[in-house]
C-alpha cells in the first residue's frame, strides 16, 4: 500500500502497543505451541499443529500489516489544528433536523473508529460528508437507512 495514513497520537500509540504485544508475547507463544504440537508425532493428522500454524499465519500477517500502517502513519494532533472547517481530528456536534437528536463524533483514522466511543472513520460516509463543512452548515448524509440531514452546531479540536 502507498500513501500516508492519518492517525491521532492515541491511535498511533495503540498500533505500536498491538505490534509490541504480537511480537513479544503472541509470536513466542505460538512458536512454543507449534513445538509442542510437533512433539506429539504425526503432523498429517495433528489438529493442534494445524491450528497453531493457522494462528501463526494470522499473527505474522497482522504484524506485517501493523508495520506497514506505522511506517505510513501521519500522526495528527487535533489540539494543534486551528480551522473553522471540519478536517481530520475535529469533534463535531450536530443535530438531526428530523428527530432533533444531538450527536457528537470525532473524525479519526480507520483503525481508531469506534462508534460506541463517538469516533468515526474519516473514510466512513458520515466522515467523508462532514469534511470541509463549517459551523451552521446543513449536511445531507446518505446512510443505510436513507438520507439524513444534520445541522452542525459545534466544531472543536481537542
Same domain, 27 and 91: no
Last residue of a domain, one of 57, 76, 95: 76
Of the listed ranges 25-34, 38-47, 72-81, the one predicted with least confidence: 38-47
Task: State the average pLDDT over residues 50-56.
Answer: 90
Mean pLDDT of the chain: 91
pLDDT at position 2, please?
61
pLDDT at position 43, please?
65
Task: State the average pLDDT over residues 114-136.
Answer: 93
| DSSP β-bridge partners for residue 138 | 151
Residue 127 has pLDDT above 60, yes or no: yes
Same domain, 117 and 52: no
Last residue of a domain, one of 26, 45, 76: 76
Q: How confident is the model at residue 1 (pLDDT cuts 50, 70, 90)?
A: very low
What is the domain-level CATH number for residue 36? Answer: 1.10.287.180
Of the listed ranges 33-37, 38-42, 46-50, the one predicted with least confidence: 38-42
Same domain, 14 and 36: yes
Residue 84 has pLDDT above 80, yes or no: yes
Same domain, 72 and 84: no
Rounded Cα distance, 9 and 20, in Å: 16
C-alpha cell at 65: 500489516
What is the domain-level CATH number for residue 97? Answer: 3.10.50.30
Q: Dihedral (C-alpha) 144, 150, 155, 158: value to the nearest 10 degrees?
A: -30
Same domain, 86 and 143: yes
DSSP 84: S
Q: Which domain holds residue 63?
A: 5-76
Last residue of a domain, one of 49, 76, 103: 76
Residue 44 has pLDDT above 80, yes or no: no
Instruction: Say how many domains are in the chain.
Output: 2
pTM for this model (two decimals): 0.79
pLDDT at position 38, please?
81
Same domain, 43 and 113: no
Amino acid at each position: 500500500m502507498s500513501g500516508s495514513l492519518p492517525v491521532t497520537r492515541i491511535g498511533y500509540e495503540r498500533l505500536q502497543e498491538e505490534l509490541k504485544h504480537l511480537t513479544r508475547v503472541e509470536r513466542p507463544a505460538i512458536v512454543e505451541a507449534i513445538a509442542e504440537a510437533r512433539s506429539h508425532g504425526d503432523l498429517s493428522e495433528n489438529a493442534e499443529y494445524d491450528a497453531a500454524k493457522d494462528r501463526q499465519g494470522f499473527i505474522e500477517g497482522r504484524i506485517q500489516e501493523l508495520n506497514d500502517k506505522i511506517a505510513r502513519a501521519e500522526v495528527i494532533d487535533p489540539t494543534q489544528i486551528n480551522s473553522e472547517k471540519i478536517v481530520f481530528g475535529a469533534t463535531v456536534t450536530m443535530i438531526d433536523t428530523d428527530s432533533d437528536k444531538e450527536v457528537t463524533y470525532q473524525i479519526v483514522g480507520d483503525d481508531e473508529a469506534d462508534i460506541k466511543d463517538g469516533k468515526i472513520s474519516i473514510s466512513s460516509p458520515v466522515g467523508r460528508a462532514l469534511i470541509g463543512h463549517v459551523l451552521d452548515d446543513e449536511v445531507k448524509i446518505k446512510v443505510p437507512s436513507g438520507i439524513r440531514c444534520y445541522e452542525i452546531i459545534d466544531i472543536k479540536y481537542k
